[in-house]
Chains A and B, each alone.
Chain A
Amino acid sequence: AQSVTQLDSQVPVFEEAPVELRCNYSSSVSVYLFWYVQYPNQGLQLLLKYLSGSTLVKGINGFEAEFNKSQTSFHLRKPSVHISDTAEYFCAVSDGVGFNKFYFGSGTKLNVKP
């Protein structure tokens, strides 16, 4: 089974500053990687995904992430955050086997301050 670590439970940042949310996973075998965002009392919305190909993945709302196989990492970045980016962010990993079970990190709360 996979394990997914999001090292930062909370990240405070000022508006227009850059941000990086960290995600590490346990296995170096072929994996599929995802970042989801969750606003209060809502479901999870996909930000971006890595299935194969280019290791730099661009997603919605100006977010991007880089897949680093040697470091088993998939960190999420945004060069300039907005107040509206305040939400909880979940990293998820699937090994693509069987029914496509997701292994979630514990989440990172991004708090963007004016």
Chain B
Amino acid sequence: DAMVIQNPRYQVTQFGKPVTLSCSQTLNHNVMYWYQQKSSQAPKLLFHYYDKDFNNEADTPDNFQSRRPNTSFCFLDIRSPGLGDAAMYLCATSIIDRTGEREQFFGPGTRLTVL
């Protein structure tokens, strides 16, 4: 089945130690998104890639970076995680084309714990 995959599902890191979360998709979608979701809150968009074009949300901290080496994969890098970065990180994809489809497809998320 076509899907969005996130690894690992649970990640523990230490304060200040860089961490990378990964996302892959078999949907061949041209847009990939990274969201941060804290407990009992809505997902908050960090950035997205539209094909190879990277777009930051205005309030995304510089501590968060992303890479998309090809259509299928996208990575979230947190350079120096703080306690406030502990959250669920969700990857999503979407196709922007003439069909007018607008659904975003979400992965299962990675739960990040910062010690």
Contact = CB atoms under 8 A, between A and B. Distances in A.
Interface centre among A34, A49, A94, A104 (most CB of B within 10 A): A104
A102 to B, nearest CB: 6
A41 interface: yes
Contacts of B31: 99-100
Interface residues of A, number: 26
A99 B43 contact: no
B45 A101 contact: yes
Contact of A107 (B40, B108, B111): B40
B42 A90 contact: yes
B13 interface: no
A104 B42 contact: yes
B107 interface: yes
Contact of B42 (A94, A96, A98, A106): A106
Contact of B106 (A45, A100, A105): A45
A43 B108 contact: yes
Contacts of B90: 43-44
B42 A100 contact: no
B20 interface: no
B75 interface: no
B60 interface: no
Interface of A: 32, 34, 36, 41-46, 49, 51, 88, 90, 92, 94, 96, 98-102, 104-107, 109
19 contacts: A36-B106, A41-B111, A42-B109, A43-B109, A44-B106, A90-B43, A92-B104, A96-B100, A98-B50, A99-B31, A99-B48, A99-B50, A100-B94, A100-B104, A102-B45, A105-B42, A107-B40, A107-B41, A109-B40
